[in-house]
Amino acid sequence: MAENDKFTTDGLYVGEIQGGLKPSMKLTVMGRVNQQPKSIAVNLACSSKDPETDVGLQLSVSFQDRSVARNARVCGEWGAVEKNIPYFPFSAGETFKMEILCEHQQFRVMVDGQPLCGFAHRIQKLASLTALKVWGDMQLTKVA
């Protein structure tokens, strides 16, 4: 977590991605899931301040559905949701390490060192993705 990063009063973590995303960059989110979790979300967005900004990747973890949905908002419109995953890697009260690798054609998501899913880039100008937002039923321990 960098000095410019901050938590809002509602528990939202907002971090700046210096210079925007580029292929070969990796973002890491580590934390502990709360005891009675409902959801966790991670956004890679074009602005840390505008709530209606475009989003290159939104990961929405639902504990009720045991799903990890992926989507993007391009030109203000949400696209088709992708939900298929080989396993559900999160457990109440347990720690996790999520890594988002930015590749040339897609984001690749790993949890605790195991591949979880990919998500093809819908925003082609990766450098425009300058904000990392994390919120939900967990305690963050590290963002890098």
Instruction: Tell me the per-residue pLDDT of 96-130, one tens digit each, with 9 for 90 and over.
Output: 999 999 999 999 999 999 999 999 999 999 999 99
pTM of the model: 0.92
What Rg do the C-alpha atoms of the chain give, in angstroms?
Answer: 14
Separation CA 34–CA 102 (nearest Å): 28
pLDDT at 9 over 90: no
Domains in the chain and their CATH numbers?
Answer: 6-141 (2.60.120.200)
Count Cα neighbours of 68 within 13 Å in the Cβ-side half-sphere: 21
Q: Hey, is 128 helix, strand or coil?
A: helix
**Cβ atoms of 129 and 17 closer than 8 Å:** yes
Q: What is the distance in angstroms between the CA of the first residue and the CA of the last residue of the chain?
A: 6
